[in-house]
Structure 1
Amino acid sequence: MYLIDANVILEVLYKREKWQKAASFLERVKKGETTAYILHFTLHGISVILGKPELVSKLIIEISSWRGLGVIATSLDEELAAAEKAIHIGLDFDDGLQYYVAKKRGLTIMSYDSDFDNTDIKRIEP
């Protein structure tokens, strides 16, 4: 099972260099062929980048229909623990939260961010 980083979604939305592989992975999640999770925090981050409420609404409606996707909400205690862990392993808060949740739940991080490669969790690209 995977924890999807924001950059995988953004790769598709902005049709960046690797968008087709990311889209293929996300399509498998959408169909329920692959099980994956995304942090509620990550969805907020993507929403901030999108900015316009109509785009955010479309995103939320779309991903709400994905059969293989679960959304993970984190508590303030978990976010504090993630921030403290991020300090010790040299990650920013966003990556630290991804790391913390992936480690806690035994998930593989699906991301284009190589910062995770210097940690003890597995990261793969779509």
Structure 2
Amino acid sequence: MYLVDTNVWLELLLEQEKAGEVLAFLQNTDARDLVITDFSLHSIGVILTRLNKESLFEDFLTDTIEDSGVGKVHLDTAELKQVLVIGRQFRIDFDDSYQYVAAEKYGCALVSFDTDFDRTERGRKTPAGVLSA
């Protein structure tokens, strides 16, 4: 199982430099082996609506969340306290800590372009790294 970080989804949605790498990863990985956190989902919504891309967000919800089989995961209140502990332990910000704790809870490898995860025990994989494994 892979927890796909916010920046990976945005790379594709906003057609950025590594969009092709993300597309290849998604095309070659069973959607049922992928999860997204509620935090990522909300963050993507905030970013896309600020960019006046509401229809893109709606398409993302339909295609990725409702139709593809990508799982949605969340943390409860007690686990949010662990997010704070992890943030202090590895000197990573709240959103990264949230992803880290969720990956730990659900037994997932983190897929991210964020190098801050390299300081953690779990580390991270890039989309290309998953494909080459």
Q: What displacement does 1:34 show?
A: 6.0
Q: Distance in 1 between matches of 2:94 and 2:57?
A: 23
- Aligned partner letter, 1:71: K
Q: How many residues align?
A: 123
How far apart, in 1, do the equivalents of 2:63 and 2:80 lie? 27
Equivalent-residue separation in structure 1 for 2:22 and 2:117 (angstroms): 18
**One-letter amino acid of the structure 1 residue matched with residue 12 of structure 2:** V
Q: Please give the TM-score of this superposition, normalised by the length of structure 2.
A: 0.84
Give unpaired runs (5+ residues) of structure 2: 128-133
Q: Please, what is the CA RMSD of the aligned residues?
A: 1.6
Return closer, same or farther for 1:36/1:19 CA change in 2, 3 Å cut-off: same
Instruction: Provide the rounded CA distance (Å) in 2 between the counterparts of 1:15 and 1:54.
Output: 15
Query: What residue ranges of structure 1 are gaps of 5+ in the alignment?
Result: none
TM-score, with normalisation over the residues of structure 1? 0.88
Identity of aligned residues (%): 33
Q: Which residue of 1 aligns with 2:6?
A: 6
1:110 aligns with 2:111: yes
- Which runs of structure 2 are paired with 1:13-24 in the superposition (5 Å)? 13-24=13-24
Q: Which residue of 1 aligns with 2:131?
A: none
Q: Please give the residue correspondences for 1:91-106 in structure 2 after superposition, counting only pairs within 5 Å.
A: 91-106=92-107
Q: Write the deviation string for residues 1-60 of structure 1: whole angstroms up to 9, x where unpaired.
A: 11000111111111111110101212334xx36611110110000000001443322211
